[in-house]
Amino acid sequence: TYSYQWQRNGTDLPGRTSSTLNLSQAGNGDRGDQISVRVTASDGKATSTPVTSAPVTVVNSDPSFNQNLADRTSAEGEVVSVSAGATDPDGDALTYGATGLPPGLTIDSGSGLISGTIAPGATSGSPYPVQVTVSDGAEIDATDTFTWTVEAAASNPTVALLDTFSDGADLATYT
């Protein structure tokens, strides 16, 4: 049988004695930490000298979007609020960006919220190939693309009030 003792930066991690170490669990290792494992073998009669692995540096984990932004259709003048939120396994601060949004819409670089009112005349450039990005550093880590179609705003129907019938009779005389 084998026994294991995981180490972070050369120090034993208390209670971390299984054959694997879950780095997503708090306290097991963060970006930049050096992780190693000390292994001892035993056959029940004799125990080997412990062997410690070479340390491995925990690297950055990229963020990912919380949803897949599907193609969408909106009308000119429509008020929009769409979340393009993402999560980062390392808890790093995230920065969002977007290209190709219909006129009148912007993305909040800190939250990923796409919002605004679709501008009049936006149908002329429709459909819009939108690309939303998120990063936890200098390079873009994740991209979501979709098509945003803008339609003309629905017009209100008009009603013509008649004073007379087509034959000239006055409507006021009818009850």
Instruction: Please report the pLDDT score of residue 171 as a whole number.
Output: 58
What is the C-alpha separation between 74 and 115, in angstroms, rounded?
Answer: 12
Q: What is the mean pLDDT of each run of 10 residues along the chain (175 residues)?
A: 96 96 85 94 95 93 92 97 92 94 98 98 97 91 96 75 62 59
Residue 114, strand partner residues: 82, 107
Instruction: Please report the pLDDT score of residue 152 as a whole number.
Output: 95
What is the C-alpha separation between 163 and 175, in angstroms, rounded?
Answer: 14
Phi, psi values for residue 155, rounded to 5°: -90, 150
pTM: 0.67
Q: How far apart are the first and last CA of the chain?
A: 101
Instruction: Please report the pLDDT score of residue 123 as a whole number.
Output: 97
CA 83 to centroid of chain Cα atoms: 8
